[in-house]
Amino acid sequence: AQKVTQAQTEISVVEKEDVTLDCVYETRDTTYYLFWYKQPPSGELVFLIRRNSFDEQNEISGRYSWNFQKSTSSFNFTITASQVVDSAVYFCALSESLGGGYQKVTFGTGTKLQVIP
């Protein structure tokens, strides 16, 4: 069975600090997708990134960066120079790839990030 572990339940940082959210996953599949979603207080899940299991290149998008390490089954997310608007719950997720796109996704329990001004 698939499993996603986000060991950090809550993190507080002061604005402009960098913060890394950890994600460790388990799967028997050789082909899978990993995601990060942001859930602000409004409740809507906002897609941030998708990576497939064959692409271990790290990715940077503005203040966001992701470190995918297959050897340790980790997919960590770093926010550089955090801002108050980054305050939200962040979910890491894992999807089985059965062909044809998005399939059943297993979410972690989330990390609540509070950025203090």
Query: What is the pattern of x (binds another protein, CB under 8 A) and - over residues 10-49?
Result: -----------------------x---x----xxxxxx--
The stretch near another protein (CB under 8 A) out of 19-27, 60-68, 70-78, 105-113 is 105-113
Other Cβ atoms less than 10 A from the Cβ of 93: the count is 22
Pick from 11, 13, 24, 105: which binds another protein (CB under 8 A)? 105
Q: Applying CB under 8 A, does 109 fall inside the site for another protein?
A: yes
Q: 3-state DSSP call for residue 86? A: helix
Residue with tokens 């399939």: 103
Q: Who's near 87: CB < 8 A, 6+ residues apart?
A: 40, 113, 114, 115
